[in-house]
Amino acid sequence: MRKIGVLTSGGDSPGMNAAVMSVARSAALYGIPLIGIKRGYNGLLRKRENIKDDLQELNLETVLDIADTPGTYLRTARCDEFREEKYRAIAVNTLKEMEIDGLVVIGGDGSFNGARCLCEMGIPCVGIPGTIDNDLGYTEMTLGYDTAVNVCVNAVRAIRATSRSHDRPHIVEVMGRHCGDIALTTAVSTGSEIVIAPEVPWKVEDIAVKLNRQLDKDNPRATIIIAEGAYEKMAPFDLYGFLTANGKMCYEGEPMSANRLASVLKRMCGGAEVRSTVIGYTQRGAEPTARDSAFAFEAGNLAVRLLRDGISNQVIGMQMGRVMYMPIMEALQYRNIFNRTLYDLVNSL
């Protein structure tokens, strides 16, 4: 390896900086110069006038300070052009011109697909799973997931304290794209009474039945955790018709949201003062937990060792609690398994 490159791509996730720092420390240890590529694959397309805005030499001094910081020092972005071969060819050219003989890609499944394509074009790549969503079936954890869950758990605990004080139900929306893992783990870790996830189709009316059951059992402060992707799995519901018929203003065609679900449930549940909170970017922008940082540190080192030893087209993950690697193609074929038993248990009250 004359040089290696590292990039972060897709949604940022806590621990990305720790992984970059580990890649830098490992590269320094093995005597391989390291280039940081800015804004995911975009940096390889050389969109900026000043080359330093696309590619930057990373030395230890630059990265030692970032290990425990949230966000990503290298910046991140999604890069739709990268689906097209002509743009990937530009990236390959950039890598060759810069004498970068291997690439560490930190991101989710879309980023891994980009890495797989680069491998097919002769650029050795190794992927590190960086996404809060935990939606990669081959690995028990993705970088940032543990942090995101802990942010949600802390938020829900605080919300439940104030909900309890006022005897009010509360809806909490968490992230995760099409994956309900953040929602489910948050629900089980906080004793929440209801969870709604994209893996299981649901009806607003059924949630109202569950909430009414809690109210009847003298629990006026139930917490409903909903994953952001779950609205897509909601049975058709005439939000406009229902709200306007019940004296609440609503725009025609307005989509369901945590706020609107609270309004609907209030009207379906005897006027209970249902409130809502969307946790949002605080999940992604948090300082990484020790678990995420430690995984990042080990994964960053393994990525550099693999490239150094001529092993590429691999992604790193965690299986049976141990850091491992497997071919990208194989990893992308794993389906994420949602824990339906826990989901049913949370919703069984």
Tell me the catalytic residues.
133
Cα–chain center distance at 259: 23
How far, in Å, are 115, 147, 168, 331, 332 from residue 137 at the CA level? 18, 19, 37, 7, 8
The least CB distance from residue 131 to ligand F6P, in Å, is: 5
- Give yes or no for residue 133 binding ligand F6P (CB under 6 A): yes
CA distances from 249 to 238, 244, 260 (A): 14, 6, 11
Sign of the alpha-carbon dihedral angle for 104, 109, 114, 120: positive
The residue (of 222 and 225) whose beta carbon lies closer to ligand F6P is 225
Pick from 176, 180, 198, 288 the residue near ligand F6P by CB under 6 A. 176
Instruction: For residue 115, state whether it binds ligand F6P (rule: CB under 6 A).
Output: no
Q: How many residues bind ligand F6P (CB under 6 A)?
A: 11
Closest alpha carbon to 8 in 130, 112, 125: 130
Instruction: List the x/- string, 193-232, binding to ligand F6P by CB under 6 A.
Output: -----------------------------------x----
Nearer to ligand F6P, 59 or 154 (CB): 154
Neighbours of 40 (CB within 10 A): 26
Q: Tokens for 181?
A: 């893992």
Q: Does 284 bind ligand F6P (CB under 6 A)?
A: yes
Q: Establish if 15 lies at the interface with ligand F6P (CB under 6 A).
A: no
Note whether 47 binds ligand F6P by CB under 6 A.
no
User: Given candidates 17, 42, 94, 131, which one binds ligand F6P under the rule CB under 6 A?
Assistant: 131
CB of 100 to ligand F6P, least distance (A): 26
Minimum distance between the CB of residue 217 and ligand F6P, rounded to whole angstroms? 33
Give the CB-side neighbour count of residue 324, counting CA atoms within 13 A: 13
- Least distance from ligand F6P to the Cβ atom of residue 12, Å: 8
CB atoms closer than 10 angstroms to residue 113: 18
How far apart, in whole angstroms, are the C-alpha atoms of residue 132 and residue 11?
8
Residue 60 host element (H or E): helix 60-64
* Residue with nearest beta carbon to ligand F6P: 11
Instruction: Summarize as ranges the residues that interact with ligand F6P (CB under 6 A).
Output: 10-11, 108, 131-133, 175-177, 228, 284
